[in-house]
Structure 1
Amino acid sequence: MARKILMPIGDATEVMDTLYPIFRLQEDGYEVVVTGPEARLYHGVMHEIPPDANIPWDITREQPAYHVRATIAFRDVRPEEYFAVLFSGGRAPEYLRYDEHLLAITRHFFEAGKPIAMLCHGVEIPAAAGCLHGRKGTTVPKCALDITQFGGTYVDEDVVVDGNLVSCRGWPQNGPFMGEFCKLLRSVG
């Protein structure tokens, strides 16, 4: 099987959730293919809780960040050509989870038992595809419901490995998250 890993994105993809995994996977020799609703340039965002704000934020603040190019549209993806998938976060999954092509792609990876990674809001896509029933995972606490309301178990840890599924809270855990995902990728081929 080709060493291609699919990464769905859209406008408001979180750049640390997206770019770090792209570069890390390339270091191990994988080709990361970025896909979106259309093949085009997408607006990335940066999410953080400002450390010294005069008025504290209890949720992340969003601001513009780097752009990321998708080279193939969801409707043109042939998931059988991909070794694994990684669902990055940001606000993009909030609207991407309604795309029937992406939901079918997502189901393929779960049904085929291929390596799957999801972080932060990326959990919203597998949840909408009905793929988290009986699975364990983690995400940012505000998205825990996306796991539990679909019959999964939310685990309050930074990184969780459940068979072929590796999940993490968000970009601050990129190091251990990608370490576990790369270990999974090596174990299956």
Structure 2
Amino acid sequence: MNGKKILMLCGEFTEEYEIFVFQQGMEAVGHTVHVVCPDKNAGDMIATSLHDFEGHQTYTEKPGHNAEINKTFAEVEGELDSYDAVYAAGGRGPEYIRTDPRVQTMVRHFHETGKPIFTICHGVQILMAVPGVIKGRTVACLPACAPEVAAVGGIYYDAGPKEAYVDGNMVSGKGWTALAAFMRECLKVLGTEIRHT
């Protein structure tokens, strides 16, 4: 079976782990992951962030490593039919790229075609910006996003820190600590089978 082609939507200060771990894990099993950011070209770099819970009332944010964009954003706009799934990574990036009509068009394509949609942490903010995408759907995300989920007709699931949630073709997780479970469920939705001998 041929590997799948996954579109990863990122912005500046997207969560580092949710870029690198997802991309490298999917590529390790033969899938292709195109990391894109509005108005960025292949070879450009974006800043990333690291969110953590260190005893304060909310998460802390620290600079992460720079991440390389490996596909020009403008090219992807005309190639959406060639992708098998879309992934909305979390962190700070979703907050602003969700307002970009081109990003909304991309998300709408995957929603309307019934292709898999993967979201973790704040990545759900990207889906919220497109009417109907999470309406009636159950999603896990950072608790701070729960009121927004409800406001657009979604159902917030309070997932454990290492748990993923699957609602049909949509896989979601609370944050980067859930990446192992999240990616395992994404692989199942993609039809990827890993055998141990």
Q: Which one of the candidate residues 149, 172, 180 is aligned to 1:167?
A: 172
CA distance in 2, matches of 1:47, 1:179: 22
> SS at the partner of 2:47?
strand
Q: Which one of the candidate residues 35, 47, 53 is aligned to 2:51?
A: 47
1:124 CA drift (Å): 0.3
User: Structure 1, residues 139-177: CA drift from partner, whole Å, max 9, x if none?
Assistant: 011111232111111111232100000000000011111
TM-score (norm 2): 0.88
> SS at the partner of 1:86?
strand
CA distance in 2, matches of 1:48, 1:118: 18
TM-score (norm 1): 0.91
In structure 1, the partner of 2:123 is 122
- Tell me if 1:76 matches 2:78: no
In structure 1, the partner of 2:189 is 184
User: Structure 1, residues 108-165: CA drift from partner, whole Å, max 9, x if none?
Assistant: 0111111111000000001101211111111011111232111111111232100000
In structure 2, the partner of 1:16 is 17
In structure 2, the partner of 1:33 is 34
- Give 2:51's aligned amino acid: H
Contact kept? 1:123, 1:146, Cα under 8 Å: no
CA distance in 1, matches of 2:180, 2:152: 28
- Give 2:93's aligned amino acid: A
Give unpaired runs (5+ residues) of structure 1: 51-55
Contact kept? 1:127, 1:150, Cα under 8 Å: yes
CA distance in 1, matches of 2:141, 2:114: 21
Q: RMSD in angstroms over aligned alpha carbons?
A: 1.6
> SS at the partner of 1:72?
coil
- Give 2:178's aligned amino acid: Q
CA distance in 1, matches of 2:53, 2:36: 28
In structure 1, the partner of 2:156 is 154
